[in-house]
């Protein structure tokens, strides 16, 4: 019997490139990605990169250079201070978030800790990069990308969107109660209702499968682990504080390039033989921005 499978999500899909290829057969998504030149890729800056190491492998997080600078600085300071050593992932709520921090208040926070301004959105200005998608959704006037991270615009404001892999800062009811020591990652359908209510600080570029496959917690309707021994130990380090030979060096496709536009169009309108009805649309949270691992540069 023939195997009946859904098609490859990446490799078997073909595309209408922004510039039509010479051949009559449209390029596959893989071919589009392969056609990217070195300048079409952006290397993650180790100074903005956080490694969340689990026993099962490494999660690579990029902290945004453009949004929530106060929160990002706080997170870097917690990482440098080894704040999360001995702490763990303590919450995995199905179709929502994975979260780590200090639910038992074991780690004292600095006594002089100052509240961080909310930074839940940012005034739209020319200094803040944004490459619009051709499509919109119902959550905002415009959707697009900043450094490959899903973003949205409305009302003169711009913010990072809660898509799969987005990382944000847990907070209490007070808008300035998020210190950056409790972080969550989206693991399900994009909870866009959180947009503009929390500081989104970055994105997981590698290792989502390690977070999303963790056992769900069952406590409090929040996905908290019932018992401390269920928690998943973590080690969090800034990439700059890891020896170069132990780093994971990633490059992300730049969104302001023709090759990215071709990639998006190939996802908006799937042209491989499996698809009967291309959607002619894509949601910003469905664009899996290309990322690749590279060797250590000499």
| Residues within window 121-180 making contact with a copy of itself, judged by CB under 8 A | 135-139, 163-164, 170-173, 175, 177-179
Name the minimum Å distance from CB 134 to a copy of itself. Answer: 10
The site string for a copy of itself over 174-213 (x = CB under 8 A, - otherwise) reads -x-xxx-xx-x---xxxxxxxxxxx---------xx--xx
Based on the shown chain and the rule CB under 8 A, indicate whether residue 214 belongs to the binding site for a copy of itself: yes
Rounded to whole angstroms, the Cα distance separating 192 from 29 reads: 27
Q: How far is the CB of 271 from a copy of itself (least distance, A)?
A: 12
Task: Let me know the angle formed at the C-alpha of 190 by 188 and 195, rounded to the nearest 5 degrees.
Answer: 135
Tell me which residue has tokens 């990069």. Answer: 129
Q: How far is the CB of 68 from a copy of itself (least distance, A)?
A: 15
Closest to a copy of itself by CB, 17 or 194: 194
Q: How far is the CB of 125 from a copy of itself (least distance, A)?
A: 20
List the one residue out of 104, 69, 81, 38 whose CA is nearest residue 251. 38
Residue 3 or 297: the one with the smaller Cβ distance to a copy of itself is 3
Tell me which residues in 17-76 interact with a copy of itself (CB under 8 A): none
**80 vs 95 by CB, closer to a copy of itself:** 95
Residue whose CB is less far from a copy of itself, 259 or 266: 266
Comparison of 31 and 43: residue with beta carbon closer to a copy of itself: 31
Closest CA to 17 of 274, 267, 256, 255: 267
Question: Where would I find the beta strands (DSSP E) of 102-244?
Answer: 122-123, 131-132, 142-146, 149-154, 157-160, 166-169, 183-186, 200-206, 232-233, 235-238
Which residue of 26, 70, 101, 144 would you call a contact of a copy of itself, by CB under 8 A?
101
Q: Which is nearer to a copy of itself, 136 or 248 (CB)?
A: 136
Cα separation, 117 vs 137, in Å, equals 28
**Would you say the C-alpha torsion 204, 205, 207, 209 has a positive or negative sign?**
positive
Cα separation values, 136 from 10, 53, 142, 276, 297, Å? 22, 35, 6, 23, 38
> Shortest Cβ distance from residue 133 to a copy of itself (Å)?
9
């Amino acid at each position: 019997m023939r195997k009946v499978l859904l098609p490859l999500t990446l490799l078997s899909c073909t595309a209408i490139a922004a510039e039509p290829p010479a051949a009559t057969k449209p390029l596959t998504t893989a071919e589009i990605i392969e056609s990217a030149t070195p300048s079409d890729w952006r290397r993650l800056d180790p100074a903005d990169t956080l490694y969340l190491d689990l026993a099962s492998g490494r999660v690579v997080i990029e902290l945004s250079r453009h949004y929530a600078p106060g929160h990002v600085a706080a997170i870097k300071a917690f990482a440098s201070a080894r704040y999360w050593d001995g702490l763990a992932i303590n919450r995995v709520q199905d179709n929502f978030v994975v979260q780590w921090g200090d639910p038992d208040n074991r780690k004292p926070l600095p006594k002089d800790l100052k509240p961080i301004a909310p930074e839940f959105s940012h005034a739209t200005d020319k200094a803040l990069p944004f490459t619009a998608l051709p499509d919109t959704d119902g959550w905002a006037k415009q959707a697009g990308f900043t450094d490959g991270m899903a973003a949205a615009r409305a009302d003169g404001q711009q913010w990072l969107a809660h898509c799969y892999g987005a990382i944000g800062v847990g907070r209490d009811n007070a808008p300035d109660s998020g210190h950056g020591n409790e972080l969550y990652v989206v693991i399900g359908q994009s909870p866009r209702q959180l947009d503009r209510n929390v500081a989104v600080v970055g994105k997981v570029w590698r290792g989502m499968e390690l977070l999303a496959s963790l056992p769900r917690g069952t406590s409090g309707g929040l996905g908290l682990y019932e018992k401390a021994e269920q928690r998943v130990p973590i080690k969090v380090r800034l990439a700059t504080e890891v020896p170069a030979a132990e780093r994971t060096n990633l490059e992300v496709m730049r969104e302001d390039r023709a090759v990215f536009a071709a990639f998006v169009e190939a996802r908006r309108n799937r042209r491989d033989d499996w698809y009967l009805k291309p959607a002619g649309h894509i949601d910003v949270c469905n664009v899996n921005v290309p990322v690749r691992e590279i060797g250590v540069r000499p």
